Structure 1
């Protein structure tokens, strides 16, 4: 259903407003301060809503069309900019709109296969389009202040980075056990769907030196039938379970108790079309995936994983993704320089200078929105990049996005194949595969 709506929207604009939109987004001379950037909304989910708030706060952009299969959601969100479809649909949508000459802001991940990432890169470069990636961590005040310190070299050379992504116990259960990212076949592996922007910002801080070697280890350690508590018995749904009031992953506790306290936002908002209430949440838990026991679900993605990186200049980095935390996506960061260190948690960071033996803590201003202001920062920067025709404002381009995604794919290959992977050879092999597939298609 979603695909038909997406391409129905594409065809509508091909026939009636293609030239107008291209003039507004591609002709930089026509884009003055009084002419907002026009945006098409493809998918009105959580990530789209996060970006879409910017259209209500600024005159810099406006929505001209939305595509969303849920009628109540369309009605509620019609005045907002909303961007995102499911991960496996990114390539189809990106290629279709690149062909029509539209600039693109794509939610992470870029695509769910290496080959599709390469196809998007080729399409964007071939059409000369502005491309933004949903690597929102780059655009928060917190990350941008740290980036300035790294690039200024006031603490000397950056040598090592340690970053931890504490996904959160109920967040992981919601999204990666019961939710849209629980199945690798239907989405992708967890390191890609959850943490590709962690690997991206690590590579960004280490640039211009690229990663050359990667190793990774991880598994689905807890969320499977073997770990099911004995007291849960044969229950397969939380509302029927004897320990529904005590299990930390109980759908009753996570959703029903939450909405009974007046919470209608995430995560309960994702369960129903329209405004969550006790009645419709209860109904969803009785029959839908979010009411299933986490130990009886069909999830297959890792709930813990580590990644080790070596860069061309000899620098190193380590990254950990883990489900079992009380913190929800509040990344823990340590950066080690030749003359100092930075320790941060996404809301504040502490800088220690070894030469002066002084330590100072900074609290970047969060202007609101998710990811410490990164959501608003990304959409604002993307709109300005489109308005001015300046890709450099985004601080990255489709080629750099592809390389960081390739590093994530290489890390997962290392985990599966139990070996250290050479990043350069890995990318060359992927590009050769795309070329060979193209040749075989022509020969057929």
Structure 2
């Protein structure tokens, strides 16, 4: 480790020049001295922690706009994934780490001996239950943070993250990508303009997609609450966030929710499947819409190696490694024999502080994949959209106009690109406002999601104000007991 850190410091002196962070919280200044060789026009430097799907999605911007940002360090445990990512971004091997703790240790060494961090910012794209630990560690070192959704898997931990971000005085971005797509930004502009009067009600549907849900929430990383979190949080927290965003500055006052795991359980298994527990051994595989062979193996045999098959192996998918994954890993298991326990459908009802309302539905069983459907009802008009186009009707003018925003390409209708672009600009200028949100607002939408899940489990309407007060008191008590 000592040799590695020495090499890291030498490379840092040569090529990694984080920008001046003089806008940071005063207590961080000792470790953020200005590098006289750095220029305001230099690209923002980024360390990526977790080089999977989300890490790759956010850093496409570094490849398309190298004058704006540059990946200079990574932490990724999977050897092939690590090498591919490092090669793609031309990351020097001395700044390639297997774990985030190794990267953090190297950063601590350069801060103590050189007085600067390894990069301007970190992207946290590890598994959900690690978000808090990683964010706290790098916030303490003064890194600006872009954290993939959700903040954390416990409300109390979300509050701790908020506290750490505010204490460090850093720029903080959250993977609520829906806010940043051209489609939703155009809708938000209309809402804010008041052109249609008061926003009174929104009906919003997230059709997850039958095979997407089977991949991610039955067989995949988000299939069990104990290993990740409940599906309303892991899949739809950015839907609740965009609803809160549209009604802002109002906050949800009361929330109720219903839902369950209805189909993806053993009782749903076809009788003809018998004792088969894996798709490759199942006599009715050809007739099953959730066949792992159809979802992963058949596409690879036709040369299709993108999502979702690229997520189930380390390195590039081929017939051999995908077959091995289906024979031995979770992605080859029968969806009715898997260990999943998260809801496959859920509804959420929200009442805001002035009596306006919103309803949200998340459902697995759809042919479209994540193409949200939204109806927005105003006092003088309505907006009806499907993530590609939306129609604005003005009751006063008796007119309707179809809008077709340019998605820019990329994930979430351009939201992935929009978020990382805004984050880089926020870091460059030292202005949290460039992200159009704050850590307090991020926490508020998470709190609403936790309130909804509490309602579903306990069968009661949740008073959001009281719910937040109780959670903050728990955190205060916990922190006080640690100090004693």
Indicate the TM-score class for this superposition, using the shorter chain for normalisation. Answer: over 0.9
TM-score by length of structure 2 reads: 0.87
Residue 52 (structure 2) aligned to one of 45, 51, 58: 45
Kindly report the root-mean-square deviation, in angstroms, between the aligned alpha carbons of the 2 structures: 2.2
1:171 aligns with 2:212: yes
Q: For residue 353 of structure 1, what is the aligned residue in structure 2? A: 394
Q: 1:26 aligns with which of 14, 21, 24?
A: 21
Q: How many equivalent residue pairs?
A: 436
Structure 1 25/400 Cα, relative in aligned 2: closer, same or farther at 3 Å?
A: farther
Distance in 2 between the 1:440 and 1:127 partners? 23
| Aligned residue in 1 for 2:193 | 152
**For 1:122-161, what aligned pairs fall within 5 Å after superposition?**
122-161=163-202
| CA distance in structure 1 between the partners assigned to 2:275 and 2:469 by the alignment | 50
For 2:306 and 2:5, the matched residues in 1 are separated by 31
Shift of 1:16: 8.5
Shift of 1:23: 5.2
The equivalent of 2:97 in structure 1 is none
Map of 2:69 onto structure 1: 61
Match of 1:71 among 79, 85, 97: 79
- Residue 244 of structure 2 corresponds to which residue in structure 1? 203
Tell me, what secondary structure is at the counterpart of 1:26?
coil
- Pair 1:63–1:93, CA change in 2 (3 A): same
Whole-angstrom CA distance in 1 between matches of 2:349 and 2:11: 50
List per-residue Cα deviations over 1:90-145 (Å, max 9, x = no partner): 00100000000000000000111011111110111001000000000000000000
Displacement of 1:32:
4.5
Give the aligned partner of residue 350 of structure 2: 309
Runs (5+) with no aligned partner, structure 2: 24-33, 90-121
Q: Equivalents in 2 of 1:196, 1:172: separation in Å?
A: 16
Give the alignment partner of residue 263 of structure 1, picking from 304, 308, 316.
Answer: 304
Alignment match of 2:364 (pick from 315, 320, 323): 323
Q: Report the more deviating stretch, 290-299 or 111-120.
A: 111-120
Is the 1:49–1:83 Cα contact (8 Å) retained in structure 2? no
- Is contact 1:25–1:38 with CA below 8 Å preserved after alignment? no
The equivalent residue for 1:226 is 267
SS at match of 1:342: strand
Contact in 2 for aligned 1:232/1:242 (Cα 8 Å):
yes
Counterpart secondary structure, 2:342: coil
Deviation sequence 1:234-279 (CA, Å, 0-9, x none): 1000000011111000101111111112110000001111111111
Give, in whole Å, the separation in 2 of the partners of 1:13 and 1:406.
40
Residues 256 and 282 in structure 1, CA contact (< 8 A), matched pair in contact too:
yes
Q: CA deviation at 1:25?
A: 5.4
SS at match of 1:24: coil
Alignment of 1:291 with 2:299, yes or no, is no
Equivalent residue number for residue 377 of structure 1: 418
Please tell me whether the aligned partners of residues 136 and 371 of structure 1 are also in contact (alpha carbons under 8 angstroms): yes
Are 2:43 and 1:36 equivalent residues in the alignment? yes
How do residues 63-102 of structure 1 correspond to structure 2 at under 5 angstroms?
Answer: 63-78=71-86, 79-80=88-89, 83-102=124-143
Please tell me whether the aligned partners of residues 131 and 391 of structure 1 are also in contact (alpha carbons under 8 angstroms). Answer: yes
For residue 21 of structure 1, report the CA deviation from its aligned partner. 7.3
Contact 1:41 1:67 in 2 (8 A): yes
* Structure 1 stretch displaced more, 26-35 or 170-179: 26-35
| Matches of 1:435 and 1:380, distance apart in 2 | 36
Confirm or deny that 1:104 pairs with 2:145. Answer: yes
1:27, CA displacement in angstroms?
Answer: 3.3
CA contact (8 A) 2:312 2:331 kept: yes
Aligned-pair CA distance for 1:441: 1.6
CA, structure 1 residues 336+15, in 2 after alignment: closer, same or farther (shift >3 Å)?
farther
Structure 1 position 350, deviation (Å)? 0.6
Contact 1:45-1:82 within 8 A present in 2 as well: no
CA deviation after TM superposition for structure 1 residue 442, in Å: 2.0
> Counterparts of 1:341 and 1:198 in 2: how far apart (Å)?
19
Bigger drift between 253-262 and 104-113 goes to 253-262
CA 1:313–1:380 in 2, change beyond 3 Å: closer, same or farther?
Answer: same
CA gap of 1:15–1:415, structure 2 versus 1, over 3 A, is farther
Equivalent-residue separation in structure 1 for 2:205 and 2:433 (angstroms): 29
- Give the structure-1-normalised TM-score: 0.94
Q: Is the 8 A contact 1:47 1:83 kept in 2?
A: no
Distance in 1 of aligned mates of 2:389 and 2:221: 31
Give the Cα separation in 1 of the matches to 2:383 and 2:434: 26
The 3-state SS of whatever aligns with 2:71 is strand
Matched, 1:440 2:447: no
